[in-house]
Structure 1
Amino acid sequence: MLAVNVAMLTGVFFNTVVTQPYLHYPYIHLLVDYHFGFARRALVGALVSLFTDQIPVWLVFALGGGMWFITAVLFTLLFRRTFGLGRQQIPLFLLMAGSPFFLKNFMHSLGYLDIYGCAAVISLLLAPARSMAFIIFSAVASIILILIHHLHFFLYVPTIALIVVIRYYFVQGLTRQGAFVGAVAVLALCAVFTAAQFFGRMNVPAPEFVSYLQSRIADASRADLPHFTHAFAFLWYRPLSKDIQEVWAHLSSNIACAPVFAVLIWLHKPLWRYFGDLIRALSSDRQRRFVIFGIILISAAYVPIFVVAIDYSRWISNWTVCLFLILHAVKTLPASHDVWPIQAEDSRTQAFGWIITCIPRIGIVRPW
């Protein structure tokens, strides 16, 4: 299964780089910076502009590939620290790392901004959480994610909040100082999101903005790139109401994919069963109830995303990845008894594992 997953990843990588099916979205995000003032979705482009004014196409795949590699390495380190990487843990590792929701889908959407949130969550799971510096670091990471893309406020920031509670407040307790720092962090995140969502639109005429973006294109021989910048510059002008209208226009086709998503999630049944066993094994009823409540809140946070953005495959994939990462945090909590790892010898588990392994990706808007 591991060999097939590697082959799948290689095939998805070459397909993404050669055919460039969704180049327009990540490429225009590298063109946009803070040249005209504060703007949403502009932090990555602003950092790139510190080093170069001309953006070649290969930079999309270089940055995306580098971020994917860092995320894959961090996840492997996290899994090894949480569960180990012996023979007994390999089935669990393959159900996570080989899931079409996770690394394979991030490879398909190479250059997109979702993976930054995933990498940030994994980093926080690996970082020490013995002082309030962990809360501050988590807040700073969350602010950076919101500046990268404001939807991270719903996409990965709620997962970060749950991890902070599990890793810091469950261990250190809720002190007056800790509560104050946490409250300030929440207020700061809400303020940054509000600024990005409602005050991050471009204030210059669209032709001027498009002209600036086209001046940053390095591949002058490609006639499609100026077309992309002209076609997708509306992302920095469109109000929230227009986003909602677009979702409603595609709602019937997206809802029609719900059974497919349900089956794909069900195929991870051995993993969900193990996750449930870990939660039930927690020695503290308070912690068990809070973890369940946190998962419900994280799931509820995805509802606004489904209302304002049509990329349902991406959102389902990221929600699943959040559950994978929360599982690691739950494993660190005190348990009343040991939970048996997923058994490789079970025939049903093997069947689920092979089906998951052979699915190359989930997609961006709709399955595949």
Structure 2
Amino acid sequence: MNWLTRQNPWRLMLVVNAAVISGVLIHKILLPPYVPYIHLLVDYHFGFVKRALIGAIVALFAQKVPVWLVFALGAATWLVTAGLFVKLFRRTFGFDDAHLPLFVFIAGSPFFLKNFMHTLGHFDIYGCLFAIVLLLIPARSIGYVLLAAAFSIVLILIHHIHLLMYVPTIAVIALLRHYLAVGFDRSNLIVGTISILALGALFFVLQFLGTMPIPEAEFVAYLKTRMADPSRTDLLGFSYIWYQPLAKEISDTWARLPSNLLGLPVFALLIWLHTPLWRYFADLVRSLTDDTHRRIVVVSIAGVTMGYLIMFAIVFDYSRWISNWAVCLFLILHAIKTLPSAQAVLPIKGADRKPNIFGWIVTLIPRVGVIRPF
């Protein structure tokens, strides 16, 4: 223990992070899975509707859906995502002592794996998982762009808000890893343009035409037939979201805005605690050899951020949006690292006092939350 704390406290931070994640899992299991469970019940039984892909896939394997399946599927997805991220970090940066602080600030961030554990069963993590896969596989072929488009279609079918949440990050990864590497030719420009148009059309159909076409009472009655325990009617309280129009979502968000804005100083503090990471990020961008690459990266980050600002105006799950925005930046960081660099970027100075203090604080924060901080 003395060696861990005095010689390399960042290793101890990893141990503490693992303990914190275990605690978040135990706490999560004790909470009712309201929204995640109903998403496993809804399928395409009444036609093509929004937020139904996961439930439709579950329906292929199970006529009755037990509550524990939320945690089983969520935990499996979390483990795969965490494992692939570790593999990605090892390939991009390596696990030498010099890059251990960077790993702690990313993997141990309350924005990332901890918050995905807290939101176990929600759809956010699928966007992160698909983006990590795209960061791991070769990107030279036009098939890479087609796969990115296919992943984006799946995400929008899972939940149409992915058009703003993770699809822009997937597009940035495809841009940085494929288009900047092989260049812009006729074939990949055509595929990219068609993909963007198709995704926009799919979003439009789901957002404005994907509401449930039957009365809500009939819809709830059908959901009960899919429940392993139909007496748990408390888990069906969110059935209204398959009927709620965009105007209603916006009005609800703006009605909650005064109280939700009270959390902004907390979000700002959490972002500030990642200062060593953001400095490394900025240094990496500045080190890029090509000025055009640098400008494209800056514009791409601004575009991803703009998508989240739009979500802030539409849906009030502010803690989730802030967390996923940070995760998108973490993933884009890995894509930037693959671009030609004019000089080596110094890693976070793990021996310095300030990164150590911030690292410990980030490590001890268990998660950010769903709507309000913590």
Deviations 1:194-236 (A, max 9, x none): 111111100111111010011111024xx4x31331x211100
1:161 and 1:203 map into 2 onto residues whose CA distance is 33
Aligned to 2:366, the other structure's residue is in SS state coil
Give the one of 263, 266, 275 matched to 1:269. Answer: 275
2:315 and 2:76 map into 1 onto residues whose CA distance is 26
Deviation, structure 1 residue 303: 1.9
Aligned to 1:256, the other structure's residue is in SS state helix
Give the 5 Å matches for 1:56-67.
56-67=66-77
1:234 and 1:111 map into 2 onto residues whose CA distance is 19
Identity %: 54
1:10 is aligned to 22
1:331 is aligned to 337
Which runs of no fewer than 5 residues in structure 2 stay unpaired? 1-12
Which amino acid in the other structure matches residue 72 of structure 1?
Answer: A
1:226 is aligned to 233
Deviation, structure 1 residue 189: 0.7
What is the RMSD of the two structures over their aligned residues, measured on CA atoms? 0.8
Aligned to 1:130, the other structure's residue is in SS state coil
2:317 is aligned to 311
The reply to whether residue 249 of structure 1 matches residue 255 of structure 2 is yes
Give the 5 Å matches for 1:142-291.
142-220=152-230, 223=231, 225-229=232-236, 231-291=237-297
Deviation, structure 1 residue 145: 0.3
Deviation, structure 1 residue 305: 1.1
1:219 and 1:64 map into 2 onto residues whose CA distance is 20
Give the one of 336, 346, 349 matched to 2:352. Answer: 346
Deviation, structure 1 residue 304: 2.0
2:22 and 2:158 map into 1 onto residues whose CA distance is 27
Which amino acid in the other structure matches residue 294 of structure 1?
Answer: S
Aligned to 2:300, the other structure's residue is in SS state helix
Which amino acid in the other structure matches residue 199 of structure 1?
Answer: L
Which amino acid in the other structure matches residue 147 of structure 2?
Answer: F
Deviation, structure 1 residue 126: 0.5
The reply to whether residue 72 of structure 1 matches residue 60 of structure 2 is no
1:89 is aligned to 99
1:105 and 1:266 map into 2 onto residues whose CA distance is 18
Which amino acid in the other structure matches residue 296 of structure 1?
Answer: A
1:295 is aligned to 301
Deviations 1:280-333 (A, max 9, x none): 000000000010000001000112211221110000000000000000000110
Question: Which 4+ runs in 1 deviate beyond 3 A?
Answer: none
TM-score, with length taken from structure 1: 0.97
Give the 5 Å matches for 1:134-149.
134-149=144-159
1:241 and 1:96 map into 2 onto residues whose CA distance is 36
TM-score, with length taken from structure 2: 0.96
Deviations 1:159-211 (A, max 9, x none): 01111110011011001111111101111111111111111100111111010
Deviations 1:4-46 (A, max 9, x none): 10110000001101x215x100000001000000011100000
Which amino acid in the other structure matches residue 149 of structure 1?
Answer: H
Aligned to 1:105, the other structure's residue is in SS state helix
Aligned to 2:332, the other structure's residue is in SS state helix
1:95 and 1:301 map into 2 onto residues whose CA distance is 24
Deviation, structure 1 residue 270: 0.1
2:371 and 2:261 map into 1 onto residues whose CA distance is 12
Aligned to 2:238, the other structure's residue is in SS state helix
- Paired residues in the alignment total 362
The reply to whether residue 31 of structure 1 matches residue 41 of structure 2 is yes
The reply to whether residue 20 of structure 1 matches residue 26 of structure 2 is no
Which amino acid in the other structure matches residue 246 of structure 2?
Answer: L
The reply to whether residue 52 of structure 1 matches residue 52 of structure 2 is no
Which amino acid in the other structure matches residue 350 of structure 2?
Answer: A
